[in-house]
Amino acid sequence: MAETHSHRHTHILIILLSALVGAAGTFLVLYGQGANRPMPAATAQDTASRLESAFVKIASETKPAVVNITVRTPMARGRAMGRMPEEFRRFFDDPFFRGWGIQPPEGEGEGEGRGEGDEAVPPGEDQNLSLGSGWVYSEDGYIVTNSHVIKDATDIRVTLHDRENDKKEYPAKVVGDDPRTELALIKVDAGRPLPTLKVGNSKDLKVGEWVMAVGSPFQLEQTVTVGVVSAKGRFLDHPGAKFRIGDIIQTDASINPGNSGGPLMDLDGNVIGVNVAILSPGVPGNVGIGFAIPAETVEQVLPLLKAEGRYARGWLGISIRDLNENKRDWYKVPDGGVLVEEVREDGPAKGSDLQAEDVIVAINGESVVDSWALQKAVASHRPGEELTLSVVRDGKPREVKIALGETPAQYTGYAEPEQKPAETPTTATQVLGLTLGSLTPAVAEEKGLAEKEGVYIEAVAPNSEAAEKGLLPGDVILKANVTEVKTAQDVTQVIQQAKDNGEKYVIVRIARMNPEGERQVITIDLDPSK
């Protein structure tokens, strides 16, 4: 028995020695290879030090242009979130976030009355108080934030951080908002030029790049967090709305309630995103997944919000679907393309040559790879613009031209117009693509028209010359050539006479209200033969 144990120990010893010899050989080979390599230019400690310096620099340059936003909104009658911090109340009660499974923490649900922190709300006022973040877009006081931050606001106050001792809350007004991209623009009058942030290039942003989020999470002003870009091109489905927010940046930089509207910065100190939401199922904080609107969208939307107060998107009025392998084979479209399922009766495409089962493969010569690319391309054009669609029909290419309409409110997040009782039908006159009606003081007041009497344009055909020349519903025709018109019949008579005489044009003068509410008179020439 002893001899058996001795042999066993000998075998074990031999195995261990063999393993050691093998490991030593491997080490020598690797060491020999490594000895011939040049030493790195900087140690890991040097790299970390440089990164730390970059973060410090970005934070110090960014924070003076980041603001805190306090918003008061009406409180739903009979509802209040008991004893929760105010930002939590608005955050958990906002349907935008309910869709992400975020719920109030246990014991902090609905309750009666107001809880701690309500002292800022004047007694007797039935209002909610919520907080968000923003950043200065231009030195004259324009500030970027999220649409949901200022939604239903009755009062907006902004705290600036360009001066250490400035504790004043500046009143702000909403300049414009776009729920479909979750962007909004507000303005304060600070009486001084404000430090601004530069919008960067999100197109070249790469997954893995370092980013910094700045804002006021949980009412903690001027908070800085860092992380990396986790993914690009994410989609957020807006609960209760008929659209989704696309091209979203995902990051693991901590974004919490109150960060909404604050900037997401790159290492060059540029805004490459606007923080918008977090994914935090069942808990009231960040679990490493946050989202930001890309700078590319910011650059597209903000100029129009500043100029017009809203972002009017082009609309085709069609139902679409992506193609799978079988559908590609059936419709003879090997790559890209979007199938037209239906051409809506109430959409601008109805009057065009576009048909159901056409496959749209390009818009104005730019390839369309999927339905999101199509929606994005169309939305980037203004209502009234004409697009050239390259389609495949019955396996053969063709082109279709369509003048865009405006995307209806239910697909944009804007409040839908109130349904009014049906008016007594009136006899409308149609000429040159214009639907004309006789104007009365009552109609003028109801529709907010520039004039109290005359002839107003009820509708403009999308593909007509009138649409191309810029005539709009609500315009009031004052004169046709030398005739001061009072009825729709006056207009048609002038046009018919010009057509009979072979004249090349009719000059019409119209009055309209511009976006600032000012009366504007415009002269337009129309071809009477069209």
The helix (H) or strand (E) run that includes residue 378 is helix 371-379
CB atoms within 10 A of CB 466: 22
Q: What is the pLDDT of residues 242-254, one digit of tens each?
A: 556 778 899 888 7
Q: Show Cβ contacts of residue 17 under 8 Å, excluding neighbours closer than 6 positions.
A: none
- Do 225 and 163 lie in one domain? The reply is no
User: For the domain that residue 362 is a member of, what is the CATH number?
Assistant: 2.30.42.10
- Do 405 and 449 lie in one domain? The reply is no
**CA gyration radius, the chain:** 31
User: For the domain that residue 285 is a member of, what is the CATH number?
Assistant: 2.40.10.10
- For residue 371, name the pLDDT band (cuts at 50, 70, 90): confident
- Residue 433: what residue type? G
Q: Is residue 452 part of a domain?
A: yes
Higher pLDDT: 472 or 79? It is 472
Per-residue confidence (pLDDT) for residue 75, from 0 to 100: 62
Of 273, 288, 276, 285, residue with least CA distance to 230? 288
- Do 349 and 373 lie in one domain? The reply is yes
Dihedral, 263, 268, 272, 274 alpha carbons, nearest 10: 0
Average pLDDT of span 480-494? 88
Q: What is the pLDDT of residues 116-165, one digit of tens each?
A: 232 333 433 456 777 889 999 999 999 999 998 998 888 999 999 998 87
pLDDT over 80 (residue 30): no
> Which of 351, 383, 410 marks a domain boundary?
410
- Residue 479: what residue type? K
> Which of 410, 437, 468 marks a domain boundary?
410
Per-residue confidence (pLDDT) for residue 484, from 0 to 100: 87
- For residue 189, name the pLDDT band (cuts at 50, 70, 90): very high
Is residue 208 classed exposed, middle or buried when 0-12, 13-18 and 19+ CB atoms within 10 A define those classes?
exposed
Per-residue confidence (pLDDT) for residue 33, from 0 to 100: 44
- Do 475 and 443 lie in one domain? The reply is yes
- For residue 237, name the pLDDT band (cuts at 50, 70, 90): low
- Residue 165: what residue type? N
- Do 218 and 157 lie in one domain? The reply is no
Tokens for 484, please give them: 């001061």
Q: Is residue 35 part of a domain?
A: no
Q: Is residue 81 part of a domain?
A: yes
Per-residue confidence (pLDDT) for residue 27, from 0 to 100: 39
Q: What is the pLDDT of residues 383-396, one digit of tens each?
A: 888 999 999 999 99
Q: Is residue 447 part of a domain?
A: yes
Q: What is the pLDDT of residues 78-121, one digit of tens each?
A: 333 333 334 334 444 444 444 443 333 333 222 222 222 323 33
Q: Is residue 324 part of a domain?
A: yes
Per-residue confidence (pLDDT) for residue 91, from 0 to 100: 41
Per-residue confidence (pLDDT) for residue 232, from 0 to 100: 86
- Do 369 and 404 lie in one domain? The reply is yes
Q: Is residue 422 part of a domain?
A: no
pLDDT over 80 (residue 425): no
Higher pLDDT: 207 or 520? It is 207
Q: Is residue 261 part of a domain?
A: yes
Answer yes or no: pTM beyond 0.75.
no
Per-residue confidence (pLDDT) for residue 465, from 0 to 100: 84
Per-residue confidence (pLDDT) for residue 443, from 0 to 100: 78
Residues of the domain holding 339: 314-410
Per-residue confidence (pLDDT) for residue 134, from 0 to 100: 94
Distance of CA 507 to the CA centre of its chain: 40
pLDDT over 50 (residue 276): yes
> Which of 243, 275, 308 marks a domain boundary?
308
- Do 386 and 433 lie in one domain? The reply is no
Average pLDDT of span 433-455? 80
Burial 257-275 (b: 16+ CB within 10 A, else e): bbbbbbbbbbbebbbbbbb
Q: What is the pLDDT of residues 291-326, one digit of tens each?
A: 899 999 999 899 999 988 988 888 898 888 888 888
Long-range contacts, stretch 452-459, CB < 8 angstroms, 24+ apart: 453/486, 454/478, 454/485, 454/486, 455/485, 455/486, 455/487, 455/488, 455/490, 455/491, 457/510, 458/428, 459/434, 459/435
Query: Which range, 135-149, 204-218, 328-342, 470-484, has the best average confidence (pLDDT)?
Result: 135-149
Number of domains in the chain: 4
Q: Is residue 303 part of a domain?
A: yes
| 101 phi and psi angles, rounded to 5 deg | 80, 20
Per-residue confidence (pLDDT) for residue 121, from 0 to 100: 36
Among the residue ranges 103-107, 265-269, 521-525, the one predicted with the least confidence is 103-107
- Do 240 and 331 lie in one domain? The reply is no
Higher pLDDT: 370 or 515? It is 370
Per-residue confidence (pLDDT) for residue 210, from 0 to 100: 92
Higher pLDDT: 444 or 19? It is 444
Per-residue confidence (pLDDT) for residue 139, from 0 to 100: 94
- Do 344 and 267 lie in one domain? The reply is no
- Do 333 and 302 lie in one domain? The reply is no
Distance CA 293, CA 144 (A): 12
Of 306, 297, 305, residue with least CA distance to 276? 297
Per-residue confidence (pLDDT) for residue 415, from 0 to 100: 62
Per-residue confidence (pLDDT) for residue 515, from 0 to 100: 73
- Do 303 and 326 lie in one domain? The reply is no
- For residue 473, name the pLDDT band (cuts at 50, 70, 90): confident
Percent share of the chain, pLDDT over 90: 26
Per-residue confidence (pLDDT) for residue 530, from 0 to 100: 77
Q: What is the pLDDT of residues 406-423, one digit of tens each?
A: 887 767 766 655 544 444
Q: What is the pLDDT of residues 31-66, one digit of tens each?
A: 444 444 454 555 767 777 788 888 899 999 999 999
Residue the block writes with tokens 């790559």: 335
- Do 399 and 344 lie in one domain? The reply is yes
Q: What's the mean per-residue pLDDT of the chain?
A: 77
Average pLDDT of span 498-520? 83
